[in-house]
C-alpha cells in the first residue's frame, strides 16, 4: 500500500485498475461494502479505491445497493453474471 500522506499520481492509480479489479471483486464476493470498508480490508487509500470502484461501476461490474447509509456511504455489490442484480 502507498502511504496516505504521499498520494500517488492519478495515472499511477489508474494503471493498477486491472490488478485491483480482482482484489475488489474478491472483497465484494462476501457481500456489499462501502468504499471505506473496501479500503480498510485491502489496506489502500479510500480515494484510490473509489477510482477503481467507479471504473468497475462504469463497466457494469458493480452496482449500488440503494440509498446511502446513515453516514452517507453507498454500499456496492457485484452484479450477477447475467446482468441482473
**HEC-encoded secondary structure of the chain:** CCCCCCCCCHHHHHHCHHHHHHHHHHHHCCCCECHHHHHHHHCCCHHHHHHHHHHHHHCCCEEECCCCCCCCCCCEEECCCCCCC
pLDDT of residue 64: 93
**Residues 25, 72: Cα–Cα separation, whole Å:** 22
Query: Domain spanning 10-63 has what CATH number?
Result: 1.10.10
State pTM to two decimals.
0.77
Are residues 62 and 28 in contact, defined by beta-carbon separation less than 8 angstroms?
A: yes
Mean pLDDT of 48-54: 92
Count how many residues are written for the chain: 85
Mean pLDDT of 2-8: 60
Mean pLDDT of 23-45: 95
Give yes or no for residue 10 having a pLDDT over 70: no
Confidence tier at 80 by pLDDT (50, 70, 90)? confident
Confidence tier at 32 by pLDDT (50, 70, 90)? very high
Average pLDDT for the chain:
84
Amino acid at each position: 500500500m502507498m502511504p496516505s500522506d504521499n498520494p500517488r499520481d492519478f495515472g499511477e492509480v489508474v494503471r493498477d485498475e486491472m490488478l485491483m479489479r480482482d482484489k475488489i471483486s474478491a472483497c465484494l464476493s462476501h457481500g456489499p461494502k462501502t468504499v471505506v470498508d473496501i479500503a480498510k480490508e485491502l489496506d489502500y487509500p479510500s480515494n484510490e479505491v473509489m477510482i477503481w470502484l467507479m471504473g468497475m461501476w462504469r463497466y457494469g461490474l458493480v452496482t449500488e445497493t440503494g440509498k446511502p447509509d446513515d453516514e452517507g456511504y453507498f454500499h456496492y455489490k457485484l452484479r450477477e453474471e447475467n446482468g441482473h442484480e
